[in-house]
Structure 1
């Protein structure tokens, strides 16, 4: 009779350590796996799973790649953030006008209200913009206007609200004194603290 040490490696050492599973099978060695390991990535493929340590390794690698390209992830909520959907049975009688054909709706609803063909029981309304947006740059006006056209070709979001360095009342400083909105209702997003 052979001792466990003379019989070769232990069963644990013979187990495949490949951390990705597809349809219950380890990807590299095709060993079947009965237990569900790690994290499911159903949004990529409904049969794909990865061990927690592999997920951590991939996240670390992705972070280095993102930062080297000076990018971050922007994760946006859908319902009650970018849009709002309602099932037809949930629409109240006072909201009955929403059943009207699109051309019969008031102008502010025509472009934001949608009935998707493959979702016949739902109506979706894009959320209104919660901000009056403006561009404020220390670049020159000609540049700012060209960039506004690039970002907003129809002039829907910025319209004429494009402020450039020649509009500033203080040299080399963006001041709220030239913003028509009240200071307590202005949110500034900038890459520099000053």
Structure 2
């Protein structure tokens, strides 16, 4: 990998005082510059969003993806299908940051494969540092204006401070048929287009807006809220095995629950008051009091009530399309199968977006050529809270 360009900070260390100063002095001016050039900020997670890595027990084995070495230890790193196309697409409309819980050695090893010429992550790279928890991320570490910043991550819990900026993606676990980046291409393209859709001829400006002009740029949080819609409106959701704290006074503070409310849903601790019981499959799940009570409700003829695995919720949040509950239904004799494919309407929307994106960016292949149009297989025990740490 060639030398990182000036201003390209691989931040495994650094002082909080410096970051505060940089934010105060650099962010407003940089935001104005990006608005002038019709760019937004994009913060990308690494593990299980862009790549899937695992330690190789047998160093002589043939890797499924790329063999990388971290402090002499071999790892098998599988790239998410369509990764290079996605990154080229991203930099056409966004200033891209990489934000990972991996340490500097691991991050550099990955970058030698996915960005050897340092073309993509021009905003900067934030990797784990010893002074911080591995279970928390914040936009305060990224030198950007929050009003213009989108986050892509497979984990919800780590972004508790910035959930209104989060564009959730399905967890990537190495499936060669995964279409997550194809989906994200369409979502990010649409968000960028909508953000700048009504800009005046002289462009958006936060500074000019403060002086009383009509050039006030929208907030990306509002654009994201509008684009994904109130998918869960009318849904009152009870959870079992999905979040750790289910006390009445703290339930709605859980990051997943906050995101549910962003999508228009409501929450309850009572199965009898719910329209949906969302369950996570764990050992002994057949004996869960909530699951059994929910199935009793269904057997008694309750209408408009569903008992679903947590993948129904994850896929709904990630695709911006409310999924068919029947495909995720919990049954006592259940043997989990594949996730259902996207609805035909959603597939048509993806195809239309792919054509629009390709026409907008020169010399890029079509999205559909790079990623098969189907979802990844649903895996046992996939958790919203899981964070990979190398």
When normalised by structure 2's length, the TM-score is 0.21
> Which structure has the highest helix share of the two?
2
When normalised by structure 1's length, the TM-score is 0.34
If asked which structure has higher relative contact order (CA below 8 Å, sep 6+), I would say 2
